[in-house]
Amino acid sequence: MSKKKARILIVDDDRDVLSTANLVLKQHFSEVITLEKPEEIPKFVKEGNIDIVLLDMNFSPGITTGWEGIHWLKTIRELDPNIHVLMNTAYGDIKIAVRAMKHGAIDFIVKPWSREQLKASIKTTLDLKRAKEKVVRLQEEKKVLSKDLEKGYTDFVANSRAMKPILKTIEKVAPTDAIVLILGENGTGKELAAREIHRKSNRKDAPFVKVDLGAFAESLFESELFGHMKGAFTDARESRPGRFEIASGGTLFLDEIGNLNIGMQAKLLTVLQNKVVTRLGSNTQTPVDVRIVCATNKSIVRMVEEGVFRQDLQYRINTVEITLPPLRERTEDIPLLAFHYLDEFKGKYGKPGLRIGEEALDQLTTYPWPGNIRELQHSVERAVIMCEQEILLPEDFLLHNKNQEINVNFGSGKIDDMEKAAIAKALNKGYKNMDKVADEVGLSRSTLYRKMLKYGL
């Protein structure tokens, strides 16, 4: 049986306790040190590499207050705060042992303990320490990578092999005014890539304007993109510029371009070719100077073959094409992304000491992430909100059920009612962007639209 590499210090004035603990632990851990006199603790701690101290609560004859143990606990914590201290206490001292945890003890074990209890307690404490160490290492790696990427990838977190060619393409295309088409599944970071292109461009000090082409009706298309004059239609109480004018000098990001119908495509193509817009209700053409970046999760080539996307518009928007891989194909980036969002949300929700445990990090890395980066972001945010301890555990992310078939004891009609109610509730919140509605109910936007049609919402 292989032993776990660990240096464990046991401090107790009872020789029988020391002998038994040493006999049990040396079978499972690489080094076990026993001390009868707590005064020798600083010497061994200063030597370094102590992982765990199993510390008695009382040492002087007749003293049962437990304050001696707390004194030496504080000493250990001052000398090396990374050492995990496990208090060894009699049953009557449990209250003082709990108090010791407030001073930095990890846990306590009650005497008389069995050999299995002792082994299990030490193993659990060691696993916790290793998990903390791994998180610290990964955070330091993230800092180094962030410094390497700070010129362009502070928010666009990527360092995996699969993303290297994409990063190079962005570096090359960003300084130009070439139109870029970004492809990829929902949640793969298409908007982040578009923003990164803008940040690296000569237009970086001008506006970056996003237009979700799937979020507004055909009747609003021209008004939203090209603007309108006062009185151009019933609700046009004042003149307004469209997104092309607002973005002039900067970058216009046309998201979900695959959702445009043929009529809208023709109007968009005309503006891209002529670089002028005409507001609704006006005959005046306004020149616009915008850099166009488009994105979609659909296959434009297939849509052209099916006759639902104009080939001339396809040629116009894909001067440079970038396809973002799903998160399951860039697993090396998962820890970086997880820590990136952890830093964001622990600040937002006032939990500065929060860490991701080793088991949780392993689960995040192996989970297939069907919702890609967006799903990871929401999972980390939820975990930060709901977590009641200092370390995020696997169960905080609720990923274990996401790949399993849902098993319920009521009929599909009941499920439909619940789903309809959830969608209706989200819609009634008045979100201006359907992406927010889709995120709240856990559906892609295209699925949300199908469900709305199904339920008559």
127-167 per-position pLDDT tens digit: 999 888 777 655 544 443 343 333 333 468 888 999 999 99
Tell which wins on pLDDT, 32 or 439: 32
Q: Does 123 share its domain with 227?
A: no
Decide: pTM greater than 0.75: no
Band (pLDDT 50/70/90 cuts) for residue 91 is low
Q: Does 335 share its domain with 308?
A: no
CATH number at residue 310: 3.40.50.300
The answer to the question of residue 265 being in a domain is: yes
Q: How many CB atoms are located within 10 Å of the residue 294 CB? A: 28
DSSP sequence for 110-160:
EESPPHHHHHHHHHHHHHHHHHHHHHHHHHHHHHHHHHHHTTT-SSS---S
Write out the residue range of the structural domain in which residue 392 sits.
Answer: 328-397
The answer to the question of residue 68 being in a domain is: yes
Q: Does 219 share its domain with 292?
A: yes
Helix (H, G, I), strand (E, B) or coil at 323: strand
Q: Does 10 share its domain with 115?
A: yes
Q: Does 105 share its domain with 236?
A: no
The answer on pLDDT for 339 being more than 90 is yes
Check residue 1 and give its pLDDT. Answer: 64
pLDDT tens per residue across span 394-430 = 989 987 544 443 333 333 444 566 677 778 877 777 6
CATH number at residue 334: 1.10.8.60
Q: Does 70 share its domain with 188?
A: no
The answer to the question of residue 62 being in a domain is: yes
Q: Does 366 share its domain with 277?
A: no
Q: Does 430 share its domain with 314?
A: no
Q: How many domains does the chain have?
A: 4
The answer to the question of residue 185 being in a domain is: yes
The answer to the question of residue 159 being in a domain is: no
Check residue 415 and give its pLDDT. Answer: 53
Q: Which of 291, 136, 263, 282 is nearest to 203 (CA)?
A: 291
Domain end residue (candidates: 280, 307, 325): 325
The answer to the question of residue 245 being in a domain is: yes
d(CA 38, CA 78) in angstroms, rounded, equals 15
CATH number at residue 58: 3.40.50.2300
Q: Does 293 share its domain with 195?
A: yes
| Element spanning 372, H or E | helix 372-386
Q: Does 310 share its domain with 332?
A: no
Q: For residue 176, what is the DSSP state?
A: S
